[in-house]
Chain A
């Protein structure tokens, strides 16, 4: 039976090549856009090296301090993180780092703008960097505030002309640094990790810096198991309360969050309220469906046209006793088959397009790929799309009156 459906479907596709082409065009284009979107989302939010533990790293990205006459909404400062973040019960590791800023190196009279982050040694353990040569700076380097840096591959290529850089020196903002290692490039879209150059945080530790409750730092907490996240969040909240009590003279209220990166984006955008991350995904899903609206209608229209053309075939099948259900199943199968073919083409096209985007340098250091997660998403989308655009025409078809269909069949 299924074999026959497939055979018929294939014949039908070949009979009206223009229709098949239009349908495929619509399907491929729609799925291509959706696959590209999911690829970018996956690239930003998935567990990828160096952030292989992205789903269990909590970040402290913001602090809000409410005083008598002022309100500060800022990235946290060193002092605040020092009192709220260190050695939380249930956490495996913690780390304070800076948000990153632009810094300049000069080679051959040309400027090389570089993004620099200052971190502690534990950063290298929490993350999972691929070292091309050398290694990270260690706790001793940080304690002694040595002028050492880890650089990424692109910086090595530009500053050292691709030669091994470990042990060599690099001038940055008028200071001389020794390179301890070179890592593979990290995409700029991986906001937590991204930098061109990483230097020890201790280089910044002046008294003013140490005393700041707000500033330009971030805290990271590694949780051993995703299930422990709520507990660690509570511990952090308790520390924040303690911090407020200790500084009650200055601040009436202190708000801060230990949260996953996605949760912070959702909270900062402020448009999802209590719905939080779920709300974010609901909105994304809703936007995708909205985007599919026109292509779906287009496909529905074409499908209806195609059914009209097959009136006689349907009439014959009905006259010989095929149930409406069988016809619906047949038609939806055909449609899903077509969408899956389109999905396949879209995945292949997406592969090449992503390559082109990566090569164009549009998203610095981004390595967008079509991985199994994206393919699965594409497959699910194709099925969903096939159903959506197939069910209504199939229903219309099943309601055709056999006698009329037989008589009205053209040619």
Chain B
């Protein structure tokens, strides 16, 4: 039976090649969209590593300059501002950092010998309280760290595993553009937000003392009492402006920044999914049309089979199987192309599990649509009367 079908398909190779190409193209498009969606869904379900609710992020904008004297002034100003915002009764804890969570901007450092890269997150003393960080191993920073002559850092699980493997990282050094000593490990800390994969993160203690070993922060993060509203933002900004008239400030709840980041990342995928959805429906219609035409043209052949005793069911099966075999060729071609990426180790940030899942999902969806488009032509084929067909000749 299968050999017979293959022969039939081979005989009509010219038009079938185009069909196969069409299925191939749709499969690639569908695969890409399902890969992105599954990837994001999977990431979204992982823990973020910090708590963003009830946190206000204040973006501080000051004149940057290379002059160390300006740097010192800015550092002093930032210290004073941090102290001032901590005084508000609404504020439970305040800390300073450079880039807030949920933004893609970052500051990277790397160990060139070992080819390991990580993102630096400057952290003042209370950042763990503001973002509700829980140190899994070792400790968080403490006041006494300001006096150390080495630089204490807290790293996340990913960096610990990448750099130290199974060994305990506590007390060991990481060599970036300078040496850092690990005092604690936190679980994953996904700074870029819900949809990103976990990156290597290094929280670097920032006592905000001098510009030589430290960086002037650009963001204040404040954990406020639950229920604090935008009215407080106005009060907060007025106070900041009063303390630093030359600087400009913008305040926003982290939840709002997160919302925006989610929307910005998901919008292109949503548009893509809508387009691919329409494409697939269109292709399904096209397949129906082609098979329909195919059936009407082959009245004679099908009639003959019926006259020789083939059952209605077997005719229906024949048409459906033919369509599925044609689609399978397209799918096979697509899978061969797609499978090259993991084979060449070019998966990027996608996990093999998600990658294979998307392949399976896309294959099933295309086959499902193929069955749907085969139903009507198949039914038409069963309606062909042997007598009528033979009369034809």
Give complex CA distance A110, B278 in Å.
41
Which residues of chain A come closer than 8 Å to B248, judged between CB atoms?
101, 103, 173
Contact of A294 among B25, B289, B299 (CB under 8 A): B25
Asked whether A104 and B251 contact (CB < 8 A) given A294-B22, A294-B279, A410-B296, the answer is yes
> Chain B interface residue count: which class?
35 or more
Contact of A81 with B by CB under 8 A: no
Give complex CA distance A29, B278 in Å.
8
Contact of B241 with A by CB under 8 A: yes
Give complex CA distance A214, B393 in Å.
85
Would A293 and B25 count as touching, CB distance under 8 A? yes
Would A298 and B237 count as touching, CB distance under 8 A? no
Contact of A298 among B234, B282, B294, B392 (CB under 8 A): B282
Would A111 and B18 count as touching, CB distance under 8 A? no
Would B278 and A18 count as touching, CB distance under 8 A? no
Give complex CA distance A345, B288 in Å.
23
Would A305 and B237 count as touching, CB distance under 8 A? no
| Most chain A CB neighbours (cut-off 10 Å) among B229, B230, B299 | B230
Query: Chain A 10-35, CB within 8 Å of chain B: the 1/0 string?
Result: 00000000110110011001000100
Would B25 and A18 count as touching, CB distance under 8 A? no
Would B63 and A215 count as touching, CB distance under 8 A? yes
Would B65 and A208 count as touching, CB distance under 8 A? yes
| Most chain A CB neighbours (cut-off 10 Å) among B59, B229, B248, B299 | B248
Would A297 and B278 count as touching, CB distance under 8 A? no
Query: Chain B 216-249, CB within 8 Å of chain A: the 1/0 string?
Result: 0000000000000111011001100110001011
Asked whether A300 and B237 contact (CB < 8 A) given A103-B248, A308-B293, the answer is no
Contact of A55 with B by CB under 8 A: no
Query: Chain B 10-50, CB within 8 Å of chain A: the 1/0 string?
Result: 00001100110110011001000000000000000000000
Contact of B102 with A by CB under 8 A: no
Contact of B290 with A by CB under 8 A: yes
Which residues of chain A come closer than 8 Å to B59, judged between CB atoms?
102
Minimal beta-carbon separation of A120 from chain B (angstroms): 19
Would A33 and B241 count as touching, CB distance under 8 A? no
Would A18 and B289 count as touching, CB distance under 8 A? yes
Contact of A286 with B by CB under 8 A: no
Contact of A306 with B by CB under 8 A: yes
Would A209 and B282 count as touching, CB distance under 8 A? no
Contact of A52 with B by CB under 8 A: no
Give complex CA distance A396, B15 in Å.
10
Main secondary structure of the interface of B (DSSP, over half): helix
Give complex CA distance A331, B26 in Å.
27
Contact of B18 among A215, A297, A410, A411 (CB under 8 A): A297
Would B231 and A109 count as touching, CB distance under 8 A? yes
| Most chain A CB neighbours (cut-off 10 Å) among B19, B61, B285 | B285
Asked whether A104 and B234 contact (CB < 8 A) given A109-B229, A308-B297, the answer is yes
Interface residues of B in 39-90 (CB under 8 A from A): 59, 61, 63-66, 70
Would A294 and B15 count as touching, CB distance under 8 A? no
Interface residues of A in 144-194 (CB under 8 A from B): 173-174
Minimal beta-carbon separation of B298 from chain A (angstroms): 9
Contact of B250 with A by CB under 8 A: yes
Which residues of chain B come closer than 8 Å to A21, judged between CB atoms?
285
Minimal beta-carbon separation of A364 from chain B (angstroms): 12
Would A206 and B286 count as touching, CB distance under 8 A? no
Would B290 and A301 count as touching, CB distance under 8 A? yes
Contact of A302 with B by CB under 8 A: yes
Asked whether A298 and B22 contact (CB < 8 A) given A70-B66, A308-B293, A309-B293, the answer is yes
Would B63 and A209 count as touching, CB distance under 8 A? yes
Which residues of chain B come closer than 8 Å to A294, judged between CB atoms?
22, 25-26, 29, 279, 282-283
Would A174 and B237 count as touching, CB distance under 8 A? yes
Contact of B360 with A by CB under 8 A: no
Minimal beta-carbon separation of A241 from chain B (angstroms): 22
Query: Chain B 285-321, CB within 8 Å of chain A: the 1/0 string?
Result: 1101110111011010000000000000000000000
Contact of A212 with B by CB under 8 A: yes
Asked whether A173 and B275 contact (CB < 8 A) given A103-B250, A208-B65, A294-B283, the answer is no
Give complex CA distance A265, B47 in Å.
36
Contact of A106 with B by CB under 8 A: yes
What total count of A-B pairs have CB within 8 Å?
117
Give the A interface residue count (CB, 8 A). Answer: 43
Minimal beta-carbon separation of A406 from chain B (angstroms): 14
Which residues of chain A come closer than 8 Å to B21, judged between CB atoms?
297
Would B285 and A174 count as touching, CB distance under 8 A? no
Contact of A410 among B246, B288, B289, B299 (CB under 8 A): B299
Would B297 and A111 count as touching, CB distance under 8 A? no
Contact of A295 with B by CB under 8 A: yes
Select from chain B the residue with minimum beta-carbon distance to A175: B241
Would A305 and B18 count as touching, CB distance under 8 A? no
Which residues of chain B come closer than 8 Å to A298, judged between CB atoms?
22, 282-283, 286
Give complex CA distance A110, B232 in Å.
10
Asked whether A309 and B296 contact (CB < 8 A) given A103-B248, A294-B26, the answer is yes
Give complex CA distance A103, B250 in Å.
6
Contact of A25 among B26, B249, B285 (CB under 8 A): B285
Contact of A304 with B by CB under 8 A: yes
Interface residues of B in 255-295 (CB under 8 A from A): 275, 278-279, 282-283, 285-286, 288-290, 292-294
Would A106 and B230 count as touching, CB distance under 8 A? yes
Would A19 and B25 count as touching, CB distance under 8 A? no
Which residues of chain B come closer than 8 Å to A300, judged between CB atoms?
18
Would B234 and A111 count as touching, CB distance under 8 A? yes
Would A208 and B230 count as touching, CB distance under 8 A? no
Would A174 and B241 count as touching, CB distance under 8 A? yes
Asked whether A174 and B238 contact (CB < 8 A) given A293-B25, A294-B22, A308-B293, the answer is yes
Query: Chain B 338-355, CB within 8 Å of chain A: the 1/0 string?
Result: 000000000000000000
Give complex CA distance A22, B64 in Å.
60
Would A301 and B19 count as touching, CB distance under 8 A? yes
Which residues of chain A come closer than 8 Å to B251, judged between CB atoms?
104
Would A305 and B290 count as touching, CB distance under 8 A? yes
Contact of B15 among A33, A103, A212, A304 (CB under 8 A): A304
Give complex CA distance A113, B59 in Å.
13
Give complex CA distance A401, B192 in Å.
65
Would B237 and A208 count as touching, CB distance under 8 A? no
Asked whether A29 and B282 contact (CB < 8 A) given A305-B293, A305-B294, A306-B293, the answer is yes
Interface residues of A in 46-66 (CB under 8 A from B): none
Would B286 and A302 count as touching, CB distance under 8 A? yes
Minimal beta-carbon separation of A402 from chain B (angstroms): 18
5 contacts between A and B (CB under 8 A): A297-B25, A301-B15, A305-B294, A308-B297, A411-B296
Tell me the A residues contacting B by CB distance below 8 Å: 18-19, 21-22, 25-26, 29, 33, 70, 101-104, 106, 109-111, 113, 173-174, 206, 208-209, 212, 214-215, 293-295, 297-302, 304-306, 308-309, 396, 410-411
Tell me the B residues contacting A by CB distance below 8 Å: 14-15, 18-19, 21-22, 25-26, 29, 59, 61, 63-66, 70, 229-231, 233-234, 237-238, 241-242, 246, 248-252, 275, 278-279, 282-283, 285-286, 288-290, 292-294, 296-297, 299, 392
In the complex, given contacts A25-B285, A301-B15, what are 8 additional A-B residue pairs having Cβ atoms less than 8 angstroms apart? A18-B289, A103-B250, A104-B250, A106-B233, A208-B65, A212-B63, A299-B286, A309-B296
